[in-house]
Amino acid sequence: MNDLDQLYQQIILDHAKARHGAGLLEAPQGVAHGESMQHNPVCGDHIQLRVQLEGSLVKNVSWEGDGCSISMASASVLSELATGIERDEFMAILDEFRELMRSRGSRAGDEEILGDGAAFAGVSKFPARVKCAMLSWVAAEAALLAANE
């Protein structure tokens, strides 16, 4: 595969089309939730992301946004991965994804941990696109930090 093929893997293109978690869900009263808005001025991507918690469990992740296929696909993968798992478990996945994005192509994505997120390994070779891929993850981290208990 050449670099550009790696950048736009089919998995990424599929997620950019069928966006998991797209459409902000209202948090019912009494449900702990946090929210974050992030903007990537370099590419023009923006996202508003909301997490709902049930104790230490991420009940769901929903978001609204617009941007390039990398940023939208990444948000979709994140929603799929994060929904229904422990908050700590999600933070560990986030660390792994961030390491992958900082690897400048030196790492293969660990599918066991990252699921479809491993398909973004090729993105790390394109520093300008790393922000696109990280946008929703940064939003999710901030939303979790902001979440009321």
Residues lying near Zn ion in the complex (CB under 5 A):
43, 45, 67-68, 71, 132
For Zn ion, the closer of residues 32 and 126 by Cβ is 126
Residue whose CB is less far from Zn ion, 43 or 142: 43
C-alpha 76/C-alpha 68 separation (Å) is 13
Nearest distance, CB of residue 147 and Zn ion, angstroms: 26
C-beta of 44: minimal distance to Zn ion in Å? 7
Calculate the CA dihedral of residues 99, 102, 103, 104 and round it to 10 degrees.
160
- Shortest spacing between CB 52 and Zn ion, in angstroms: 26
| Residue 43, burial from CB neighbour count under 10 angstroms (0-12, 13-18, 19+) | middle
Q: Nearer Cβ to Zn ion, position 34 or 67? A: 67
CA angle centred on 7, ends 41 and 5, rounded to 5°: 145
